Amino acid sequence: MNILRGPPPDTLSAMLGHTEFASAEQITGHLQAKQAATHLPNMPHSIAEIVAHMTQNMQFNLKLIEGKDEKLLSEWPHFAEEELTEEVWSDLVRAFMAVLRQLRNYTEQPEVLEQLIYPATDTEPGWTVGYKLAVNIAVHNAYHLGQIVTLRQGLGAWPE
């Protein structure tokens, strides 16, 4: 039976936010709601929509790890500039950071990281919680956090 395991806990912790690059806190911080809701030309999503998407993805995966059957939302969140108040934006960032912290906490629980979340089949290897965190959270978030940095640069809202 082939099982895909994640990296060692310290490495996984670094992948989930303790790195030499800009942190999720830095990337999503010091941004006004109007900036977060802005749709730049030729860009499909605003910063707020990307943060909401990452939050939904992490909440979905957290529930799977906790053994709860959850359906993945197939539609991207949408925010019009006038809908995204400072309060809504702050709540969105807080929710994002809260679920990220919950997932990071698993890196301190090696026994949980080794738990099988998807059993192996005849055609697919099994996945451990550690592998799921590495692939479906760390890599996914890295991609989208990079998008946010690019959008912030386009808005003139990325610190030099």
d(CA 73, CA 62): 14
Residue 18's pLDDT is: 63
pLDDT at 80: 85
- Residue 10: pLDDT above 80? yes
What pLDDT is stored for residue 48 in this prediction? Answer: 98
pLDDT (mean) for 4-12: 88
Angle between helices 47-65 and 140-155 (to 10 degrees): 160
pLDDT of residue 12: 85
129-158: pLDDT as tens digits: 999 999 989 999 999 999 999 999 999 999
What's the pLDDT tens digit per position in 36-89?
999 999 999 999 999 999 999 999 999 989 988 777 767 888 888 889 999 999
At residue 94 the predicted structure's pLDDT band, cuts being 50, 70 and 90, is: very high
What CATH fold (topology level) applies to the domain 3-155? Answer: Four Helix Bundle (Hemerythrin (Met), subunit A) (1.20.120)
Query: Which region, left, alpha or beta, applies to residue 20 given φ > 0 means left and ψ of -120 to 50 means alpha?
Result: alpha
Domains in the chain: boundaries: 3-155
pTM: 0.92
| Alpha helix (H) residue ranges in the chain | 9-15, 24-28, 33-37, 47-65, 86-105, 110-113, 129-132, 140-155
Nearest to 76 by CA among 54, 46, 53, 58: 53
What pLDDT does residue 71 have?
A: 74
